[in-house]
Amino acid sequence: MLVKPTTKKGKEMSNEAKNKIPGFVSQRAFQKANQLYMKQERKDGKFVDPVSKEFVAAGQEKGRKGEYLVMQMLQDMGYKVEMLSGTDEYDLRVKIKGTWHRVEVKTAAQGRSCDNFIYSGIKTTHYDLLATVFVGYDYTSVQISGTEGKRFIDVYGSNFCGSNWESRPTSKVICFNKFRTHCKLRGTEAFFDMTKKNVERLV
């Protein structure tokens, strides 16, 4: 519990008297230090978009939030969607044009030092569509990819085995820059903004 500085008579101490206390921290000094802390140290310090801040505040659960976000977006497009909740090698099943498709969802927050988005644990043989959630400093957006995206990740993605490499199958890591693209794409159409038109062009 915070107690305001008081005089011997119990009255609140004046600002002039407070400033005479050795090492006294003024509110202004604290606010300046706190702003610097928020920007440099807190994981959500650079994130100004309310949606992005909510994702970052979720910590390790941001991936789960990403799954629910993609499910809701697909439902809003009129598709029937099932959440698998870890019962299979992919996250969602969606019925598009009368056929069920496997959807993997990966979520990444923009890096504080390099400003990139890094997606790991991608198993390209285990899904039909990959939804990548970009949690940027001032926006959140989703891209969708299919067969061409798989080929690109297989060629340009790095191998990732995780901490328990003996028991986990090899998967891929792919890094997108702050513009949500990759230097090796060079005009290749593989990753698209997630709209209904782009979803249906991939199946």
Domains and CATH numbers, the chain: 50-201 (3.40.1350.10)
- The per-residue pLDDT for 28 is 81
- The per-residue pLDDT for 131 is 98
- The per-residue pLDDT for 2 is 46
**Is the distance from CB of 101 to CB of 129 less than 8 angstroms?**
yes
- The per-residue pLDDT for 14 is 73
pLDDT bin (cut points 50, 70, 90) of residue 32 is confident
Question: Percent of the chain at pLDDT above 70?
Answer: 82
pLDDT bin (cut points 50, 70, 90) of residue 160 is confident
As a whole number, the mean pLDDT across the chain is: 86
- The per-residue pLDDT for 29 is 81
On the question of pLDDT at 171 being above 80, the answer is yes
Question: Is-above-0.95 flag for pTM?
Answer: no
Query: What single letter denotes the amino acid at residue 110?
Result: Q
On the question of pLDDT at 12 being above 50, the answer is yes
- The per-residue pLDDT for 1 is 46
Q: Report how far apart, in Å, the C-alpha atoms of 31 and of each of 8, 28, 34, 142, 178 are.
A: 28, 5, 5, 35, 30
pLDDT bin (cut points 50, 70, 90) of residue 57 is confident
What's the CA gap between 66 and 72, in Å, rounded?
10
Q: How many CA atoms lie within 13 A of 190 on its CB side?
A: 22
Mean pLDDT for 56-84 is: 95
22/176: higher pLDDT:
176
Mean pLDDT for 136-157 is: 96
The per-residue pLDDT for range 104-129, each reduced to its tens digit, is 999 999 986 688 999 999 999 999 99
Q: What angle do CA 2, 23, 34 make, to 5 degrees?
A: 60
